[in-house]
Amino acid sequence: MVTKQRIETTLPFKYESVPEVLVIGNKTVIVAGTTYYRIDASATEEYVPPFLLTLITPITPITHTTPTIGDTREIWGSGCIDLYSTVKVSYREPVRVEEPAYTTVESEFYDLAQQWKQERPCGADVSEIAMHPSYQRIIGMGPDVVPFLLKELEREPEHWFWALNSITGVDPVPPESQGKLKEMAKAWVEWGKKQGYRW
Amino acid sequence: MGNTSYKVTSGPSKEYNCIAWAAGDTARWWSNVPGYWWPTTNRSSFVKSLVDVFAGMSYEICDSTSLEEGFEKVALYEKAGLWTHVSRQLVNGHWTSKLGLKEDIEHESPEVLVGDLYGTVHCIMRKRQI
């Protein structure tokens, strides 16, 4: 079952066209342009409650065509494969999405973070991964971006440590935790809270 | 990579990298970048620093990639003088590599990974098996 439905929430990025919300199988998908974003929380087919989307790895569709009745193609990219069998499309008048509730720093950070995760050279070491232009721009955002980096670390440990070290000049990771992703993230989050950062 | 065959031997992981994998450690990411594990005081991106890391683990430079009974071997890669990658020899004579954030692979020789990303093989090192 695929239906278009109203959306009353905000998205961490701006785009030109009004997005569509599709329910495909048991997953709810927001289509912005030709990129599909899977909603983390569960949702009914009739109504998507207002909530702040947790933007997980954007899914690059293998094809860009809109699903049609009877279509059985895979539409998910790598890391998130799903098949839908019966597709039914109905139409409701889409509503204009409100302006994003993110601050400028927050929306810029999430845009850049998303870009970095999609484009970084995954086969390289962290020193080269951190050289990606988006990662460098995040460093260039300076102290204002620190709470968002810490928030992301708390949500999902990731190689943000060089950015944090570059911006703050400190390294709160104890020697016994060096190189251990989750422990490094925990050390930075604890440091941030002690410094008075809030997110 | 070159057109020699290789096979994927694990899923992707952010927890450990090529150096860690070559050293038998899947719990940590080894890098000279601050905050990461680096077993020597010389935290440098120059390939000599990586040679020192493995020398500290009793490896010595040797001149052959051939399988030698009683020895473990690693291949160190560099690009423009900076270290880029390490692969480790398996008991069947093939080599294993962790590709950054991606998966482990088994490949026929160190030369399979020579190219734009990892550069060239700087040296082969070996140590006696315990």
Q: Which residues pair with A197 in a beta bridge?
A: none
Beta carbons within 10 angstroms of residue A63's beta carbon: 11
Q: Rounding to the nearest 10 degrees, give the CA dihedral for residues A53, A59, A65, A71.
A: -90
Tokens 């961490």 appear where? A12
Beta carbons within 10 angstroms of residue A45's beta carbon: 12
Phi, psi at B78, each rounded to 5°? -145, 160
Q: Does B13 touch chain A (CB under 8 A)?
A: no
Same domain, A122 and A92: no
Where in the sequence is the domain holding A144, given as residue range(s)?
104-194
Where in the sequence is the domain holding B85, given as residue range(s)?
6-128
Mutation target vs B (from A125, A128, A170, A178; most B CBs, 10 A cutoff): A125
HEC per residue, B29-86: CECCCCCCECCCCCCCCEHHHHHHHHHCCCCEEECCCCCCCCEEEEEEEEECCEEEEE
Instruction: Pick the last residue of a domain from A101, A134, A158.
Output: A101
Nearest beta carbon to residue B101 from set A122, A130, A165: A122
Residue B52 located in a structural domain: yes
> What is the per-residue burial (b if ≥16 Cβ within 10 Å, else e) of B9-27?
eeeebbbbbbbbbbbebee
State the number of CA atoms in the 13 A half-sphere of B82 facing the CB: 13
Task: Indicate the residue type of A21.
Answer: V
Instruction: Pick the last residue of a domain from A69, A101, A133.
Output: A101
Q: Does B80 touch chain A (CB under 8 A)?
A: no
Segment B23-76, tens digit of pLDDT = 999 999 999 998 999 999 889 999 999 999 999 999 999 999 999 999 999 999
Query: Structurally, how many domains does chain B consist of?
Result: 1
Q: Does B31 touch chain A (CB under 8 A)?
A: yes
Residues of chain A in Cβ contact (below 8 Å) with chain B: 120-130, 157-159, 161-162, 165, 171, 173, 178-181, 184
Q: What is the pLDDT of residue A193?
A: 96
* Residues A72, A85 contacting (CB under 8 angstroms): yes
Pick the closest to residue A82 from A24, A1, A20 (CA basis).
A24
Same domain, A67 and A32: yes
Q: Which residues pair with B83 in a beta bridge?
A: B78
B37–A124 C-beta distance less than 8 A: no
Query: Structurally, how many domains does chain A consist of?
Result: 2
A163 to chain B: which residues are within 8 Å by CB?
none
* Residues A164, A171 contacting (CB under 8 angstroms): no
Question: Looking at CA atoms only, how far is residue A29 from chain B in angstroms?
Answer: 25
Instruction: Pick the last residue of a domain from A53, A74, A101.
Output: A101
What is the ipTM metric for this complex?
A: 0.88
* Ordered per-residue pLDDT tens for chain A, 199 residues: 444 444 333 333 333 333 455 555 445 555 544 444 444 433 333 333 332 233 333 333 333 344 444 443 333 322 222 322 222 323 333 344 444 455 689 989 999 999 999 888 887 888 889 999 999 999 999 999 999 999 999 999 999 999 999 999 999 999 999 999 999 999 999 999 999 998 8
Expressed in percent and rounded to 5, the helix, strand and coil fractions of chain B are 15, 35, 50
pTM beyond 0.90, yes or no: no
Structural tokens at position A67: 């699903």
CA-nearest residue to A185 within chain B is B35
